[in-house]
């Protein structure tokens, strides 16, 4: 027998995941012991756990592969994990007040968010197809449950069911693609696939990559696998929608980059056309389909579809600069989305939430700061300098032009002009329409998230260097 | 003919026959029971191939969980199977055509199948370690070492599934009488029994 030391893998790189898992188990025990009274304390506990893990992740350095090659901790994984943790922590901050008022504040919710976060971190660190799939499943399963968390609400249960059925289908496609990739390369590990792929890709492998791309596109909510997004976003409780639009997007993007850049860097020609098509279709649908939307949650759903399209431009470039663009885009997208949802969660009058564009009318006169923040988010989403959204788009477009994808960049610019129409319409409604009765006070959690994201979006242009440097080192670790 | 071959034909024949009975039986409960018989025979085939772990897993998972679940569904939901079968003859041509196409495809696939001779000689589980290990031992050796990460994440997934099922379905209904053992045990004679002296011809206030 081999000595035990050689059998035990190095677990320090996995410490953040272990801390979160143990914490989640303790919270489950605490919640089960204290019953429904523990909703407040589990919320705080989960928030503390996520913040602690964030500092653990940030304090790690270097690139390590462990657990028999299934897990990789590199700068890219760390940046994405930090984003995921910020998204999850912000969601918990945003949720508390809403869930209390809707009388669905149960202790399982923060626990499910933590478990979902573990899944997302596994996805960001996946170095083979099995850990990728397991992380994805852990994330998705928790997401299905929290989509249906308002179980007495027809729309919420519908959203959960729809998400579950379509999500299971897409997992099936991803698995089928993975099995083909395994069959034609003989290995599941990403570095193994890279070494196995010398020469042109065989037909079976191409088929496998197509299926994997389909599964991944579903998780990203990219066209043509976006159909579920508006319904699920509209039906889920609003804080859950904020969650879906933030942290899981980061994880899905991390997973996409890991698969295509990590496992198939030498067959770029095979997947580049898929990504280019998905990117163009997402940008176009994100801008045109959102024009007719009156519901703010559906609008944000289409906006997120469009934004995924822009981020994918960077991946389509397939270069180090492109990935740097993707990372920067995701950071800024996270700030803009969380900010917009923080405003959405503040529109409450006498225990009723307001969700349509008309409910925003005259917000600038009743709530000037709220209106200013939302206007900043919208200008930023439309890509108007000097707000952060402009730089996000700038970096991916620049990478695309360097990679000779000028058409893609031009289409991106055109669709972002179209998208500006519906973003700026919100600003017009807030600033130039007749005001309605004022809303209730902004819940403290939303106020914190809104303030933080506004600062990032408005002041990013003053000190962009730390983020650009972090994204640069993240992209470097993949090539 | 060796004993192994005899058992192969026994299990295989029974599996095919019970598979046929699954679709032919009139009573859905009988169908499910035949399905269980088919699973057990398939497990027997696995044992003959030396895959005893797979055989036991088949029994535990498919017979123990899936088939019993089917049985519950069939018994609890009042599905009228006679009505479902109504159009059998009408749909037979189309169904038969699809079945025939599928059969031809399967025959083509199986007919052109070639196995790497190396695979036939060295069954996977035993070749890996050189020593004579059972499948279960071989799996156990890697499950908690090489694949411990996957094993633990799978555990977390099951935890999420459990929490999710409870979150979405468990309700506290008002007006349900529950047993409270500590209260029951704390009852004394004085709390449970009331002794009243009843005067003759007057009765008691209850």
At B86-111, the pLDDT tens digits run 777 788 889 899 999 999 999 988 88
Of A135, A145, A148, the CB nearest to B153: A135
Distance from CA of A144 to the nearest CA of B (A): 9
Of A228-237, A273-282, B106-115, minimum mean pLDDT range: B106-115
Residue contacts between A and B (CB atoms, under 8 Å): 68
Q: How far is Cα of residue A120 from the mean position of the Cα atoms in its chain?
A: 9
Which pLDDT does position B24 carry in this prediction?
Answer: 86
Distance from CA of B161 to the nearest CA of A (A): 7
Q: Do A67 and B149 touch (CB under 8 A)?
A: yes
Which pLDDT does position B66 carry in this prediction?
Answer: 84
The answer to whether residue A22 neighbours chain B at the CB level (below 8 Å) is no
Of B145, B147, B153, the CB nearest to A138: B153
The answer to whether residue B157 neighbours chain A at the CB level (below 8 Å) is yes
**Residue carrying structure tokens 């159009």:** B87
Asked if A99 and B180 count as a contact pair (C-beta separation under 8 A), the reply is: no
Which pLDDT does position A84 carry in this prediction?
Answer: 96
- Region A307-315: mean pLDDT is 93
Which pLDDT does position A2 carry in this prediction?
Answer: 52
Q: Does A1 have pLDDT greater than 50?
A: no
How do residues A363-406 score in pLDDT, each as one tens digit? 888 888 889 999 999 999 998 888 999 999 999 999 999 998 89
Residues A120/A466/A333/A55 CA torsion (nearest 10 deg): 30
Share of chain B above pLDDT 90, in %: 32
Q: Do B147 and A9 touch (CB under 8 A)?
A: no
- Region A172-194: mean pLDDT is 92
Share of chain A above pLDDT 90, in %: 62
How do residues B151-165 score in pLDDT, each as one tens digit? 999 999 999 999 999
- Region A249-256: mean pLDDT is 94
| Distance of alpha carbon A311 from alpha carbon A253, whole angstroms | 8
Q: Does A277 have pLDDT greater than 70?
A: yes
Interface test with A, best of B137, B141, B165, B167 (most A CBs within 10 A): B167
Q: Does A38 have pLDDT greater than 80?
A: yes
- Region A349-359: mean pLDDT is 81
Contacts with A167 (C-beta within 8 Å, 6 or more apart), sequence order: A140, A143, A144, A218, A228
Q: Do A21 and B156 touch (CB under 8 A)?
A: yes
**ipTM of the prediction:** 0.91
- Name the residue in chain B with its Cα closest to that of A157: B168
Q: Does A146 have pLDDT greater than 90?
A: yes
The answer to whether residue B147 neighbours chain A at the CB level (below 8 Å) is yes
Asked if A303 and A274 count as a contact pair (C-beta separation under 8 A), the reply is: no
Which of B12, B40, B34 is CA-nearest to residue B22? B34
Distance from CA of B180 to the nearest CA of A (A): 17
The answer to whether residue B159 neighbours chain A at the CB level (below 8 Å) is yes
Distance from CA of B154 to the nearest CA of A (A): 7
The answer to whether residue A120 neighbours chain B at the CB level (below 8 Å) is no
Which pLDDT does position B193 carry in this prediction?
Answer: 86
Which pLDDT does position A353 carry in this prediction?
Answer: 79
Distance from CA of B131 to the nearest CA of A (A): 12
Confidence of residue B131 (pLDDT cuts 50, 70, 90): low
Q: Which residues on B lie below 8 Å from A188 (Cβ)?
A: none
Q: Do B157 and A141 touch (CB under 8 A)?
A: yes
**φ and ψ at residue A128, rounded to 5 degrees:** -150, 170
Which pLDDT does position B125 carry in this prediction?
Answer: 46
How do residues A401-452 score in pLDDT, each as one tens digit? 999 889 999 999 999 999 999 899 989 999 998 888 888 888 888 999 999 9
Q: How far is Cα of residue A27 from the mean position of the Cα atoms in its chain?
A: 25
| DSSP code of residue A36 | G
Q: Does A6 have pLDDT greater than 60?
A: no
How do residues B1-42 score in pLDDT, each as one tens digit? 688 889 999 999 999 999 999 888 888 888 888 999 999 999
The answer to whether residue A135 neighbours chain B at the CB level (below 8 Å) is yes
Of B146, B152, B168, the CB nearest to A148: B168
- pLDDT, mean over chain A: 90
Contacts with B72 (C-beta within 8 Å, 6 or more apart), sequence order: none
| Distance of alpha carbon B22 from alpha carbon A121, whole angstroms | 45
Distance from CA of A2 to the nearest CA of B (A): 12
Helices marked H in A186-227: 190-196, 203-220
Q: Which residues on A lie below 8 Å from B146 (Cβ)?
A: 68
Q: Which residues on B lie below 8 Å from A67 (Cβ)?
A: 148-149
Of A9, A130, A148, the CB nearest to B150: A130
Q: Do B157 and A137 touch (CB under 8 A)?
A: yes
**Residue carrying structure tokens 């050796």:** B141
């Amino acid at each position: 027998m081999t000595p035990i030391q050689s059998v035990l893998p190095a677990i320090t790189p996995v410490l953040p995941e272990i801390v979160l898992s143990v914490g989640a188990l303790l919270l489950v025990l605490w919640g089960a012991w204290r019953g429904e009274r523990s909703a407040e304390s589990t919320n705080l506990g989960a928030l503390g756990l996520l913040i602690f893990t964030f500092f653990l992740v940030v304090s790690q350095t270097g690139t390590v592969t462990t657990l028999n090659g299934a897990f990789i901790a590199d700068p890219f994984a760390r940046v994405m994990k930090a984003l995921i943790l910020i998204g999850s922590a912000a969601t918990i901050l945003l949720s508390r007040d809403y869930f209390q008022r809707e009388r669905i504040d149960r202790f399982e919710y923060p626990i499910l968010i933590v478990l979902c976060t573990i899944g997302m971190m596994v996805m960001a660190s996946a170095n083979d197809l099995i850990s990728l799939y397991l992380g994805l499943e852990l994330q998705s399963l928790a997401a299905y449950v929290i989509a249906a968390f308002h179980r007495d609400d027809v729309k919420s249960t519908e959203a959960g069911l729809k998400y579950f059925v379509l999500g299971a289908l897409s997992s099936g496609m991803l698995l089928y693609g993975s099995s083909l990739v395994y069959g034609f390369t003989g290995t599941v590990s990403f570095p193994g696939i890279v070494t196995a792929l010398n020469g042109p890709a065989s037909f079976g492998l191409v088929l496998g990559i197509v299926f994997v791309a389909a599964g991944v596109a579903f998780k990203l909510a990219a066209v043509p696998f976006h159909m579920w997004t508006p319904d699920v976003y509209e039906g889920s409780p609003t804080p859950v929608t904020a969650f879906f639009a933030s942290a899981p997007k980061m994880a899905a993007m991390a997973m996409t980059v890991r698969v295509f850049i990590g496992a198939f860097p030498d067959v770029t020609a095979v997947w580049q056309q898929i990504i280019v098509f998905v990117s163009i279709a997402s940008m176009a649908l994100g801008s045109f389909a959102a024009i007719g939307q009156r519901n703010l949650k559906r609008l944000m759903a289409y906006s997120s579809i469009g934004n995924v399209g822009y981020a994918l431009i960077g991946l389509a470039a397939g270069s180090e600069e492109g990935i740097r663009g993707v990372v920067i885009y995701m950071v800024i997208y996270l700030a803009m989305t969380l900010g917009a949802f923080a405003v959405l969660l503040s529109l409450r009058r006498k225990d009723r939430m307001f969700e349509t564009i008309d409910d925003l009318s005259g917000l600038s006169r009743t709530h000037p700061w709220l209106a200013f923040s939302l206007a900043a988010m919208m200008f930023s989403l439309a890509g108007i300098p000097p707000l952060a959204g402009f730089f996000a788009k700038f970096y991916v477009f620049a990478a695309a032009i360097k990679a000779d994808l000028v058409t893609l960049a031009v289409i991106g610019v055109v669709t972002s002009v179209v998208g500006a129409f519906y973003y700026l319409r919100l600003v017009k409604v807030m600033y130039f329409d007749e005001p309605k009765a004022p809303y209730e006070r902004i819940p403290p959690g939303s106020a914190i998230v809104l303030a933080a994201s506004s600062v990032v979006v408005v002041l990013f242009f003053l000190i962009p260097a730390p983020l650009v440097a972090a994204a640069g080192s993240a992209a470097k670790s993949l090539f | 003919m060796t004993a192994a071959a005899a058992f192969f034909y026994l299990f295989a024949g029974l599996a095919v026959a019970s598979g046929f009975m699954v679709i032919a039986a009139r009573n859905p409960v009988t169908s499910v029971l035949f399905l269980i018989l088919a699973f057990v025979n398939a497990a027997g085939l696995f044992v003959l191939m030396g895959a005893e772990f797979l055989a036991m897993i088949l029994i535990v998972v498919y017979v123990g969980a899936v088939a019993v679940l089917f049985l519950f569904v069939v018994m609890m939901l009042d599905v009228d199977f006679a009505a479902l079968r109504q159009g059998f003859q009408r749909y037979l041509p189309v169904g038969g055509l699809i079945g025939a196409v599928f059969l031809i495809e399967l025959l083509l696939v199986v007919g052109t199948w070639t196995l790497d001779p190396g695979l036939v000689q060295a069954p996977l589980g035993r070749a890996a370690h050189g020593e004579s290990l059972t499948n279960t031992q071989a799996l156990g050796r890697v499950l908690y070492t090489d694949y411990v990460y996957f094993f633990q994440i799978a555990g977390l997934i099951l935890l999420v599934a459990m929490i999710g099922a409870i979150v979405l379905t468990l309700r506290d209904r008002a007006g349900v009488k529950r047993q409270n053992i500590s209260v029951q045990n704390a009852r004394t004679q004085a709390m449970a029994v009331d002794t009243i002296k009843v005067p003759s011809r007057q009765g008691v206030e209850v």
